[in-house]
Amino acid sequence: MSKTITPLIAGNWKMNGVSASLAELTALGQALTAGPAPRAIVVICPPATLLAAASAHGASSGILTGGQDCHPAKSGAHTGDISAAMLADAGAQYVIVGHSERRANHGETDELVRAKAEAGFAAGLKPIICVGETEAERDAGQAETVVERQLAGSIPDSEATFVVAYEPVWAIGTGRTPTNAEIAQMHARIRGVLTARFGERGASVNILYGGSLKPSNAREILAIEHVNGGLVGGASLLAKDFAAIISAV
């Protein structure tokens, strides 16, 4: 992990959580404030129904919040959707765009992900732009090609701050993870692409690893060069597990 980039640990609750789940956020805040301050930026991305409450809960302990998705339009006749401006109004500072579950289940293209990231910028949010290959693409030797295409198509040309999250699709929620060497190779490639495109600014972008990141493997994965934090799924739902990952930084 780079010593010049402040690590970012983001928890994606996905379609999990009701009001009672905020007790876990309270417990996380207590864990983070009981000892030395975390060496990472901590973000929770709850379902939209909990975003305002989560933002209020986390404020006293330094926990930031983000949305799990946003519509590219600022407002309009888009029943069931939520805009980046609405997320910001509810207290969010970040928004996840292009998660593989959105790309697969909702047919989201790189072009749409790019538009959502631009909407996030316009609302003052920092987009966490997700990329990653499927198992078939990796087995075919196309992993880097796929990720490079997603980076090119999904990241807007902007001076605004963004984050990249590399999530090998085949590792999300399966308990499987790439080898440390595979993670290192992909993160180095992503860093090279970002630096070639954005220059010095590309060298300072947080590149998160996601895909079955948990307390038992967090320390070794977060120590890999160019891994500047993690996007955590299931392990972020329990305060003790998420706090253990944060402490691994």
**Degrees to nearest 5, angle at CA 226 with 223 and 231:** 75
| Active-site pick, 101, 118, 137, 167 | 167
- Quick one: pLDDT at residue 245? 97
* pLDDT bracket for residue 243 (50, 70, 90): very high
Whether 167 is catalytic: yes
- Angle, helices 22-33 vs 239-247, to 10°: value is 30
- Quick one: pLDDT at residue 130? 98
Domains, the chain: 40-230 (3.20.20.70)
* pLDDT bracket for residue 175 (50, 70, 90): confident
Strand partners, 44: 11, 65
Does 4 have pLDDT greater than 90? no
| Active-site pick, 57, 71, 99, 187 | 99
What's the rounded Cα separation, in Å, for the pair 153 and 147?
A: 10
- Quick one: pLDDT at residue 25? 97
- Average pLDDT on 22-28 reads 97
Does 1 have pLDDT greater than 80? no
- Quick one: pLDDT at residue 176? 80
- Quick one: pLDDT at residue 2? 52
pTM value?
Answer: 0.96
- Average pLDDT on 24-34 reads 96
What's the rounded Cα separation, in Å, for the pair 158 and 121?
A: 9
* pLDDT bracket for residue 172 (50, 70, 90): confident
- Average pLDDT on 76-103 reads 98
* pLDDT bracket for residue 174 (50, 70, 90): confident
- Quick one: pLDDT at residue 3? 55
The answer to whether 154 touches 166, Cβ cutoff 8 Å, is: no
- Average pLDDT on 24-52 reads 96
Whether 99 is catalytic: yes
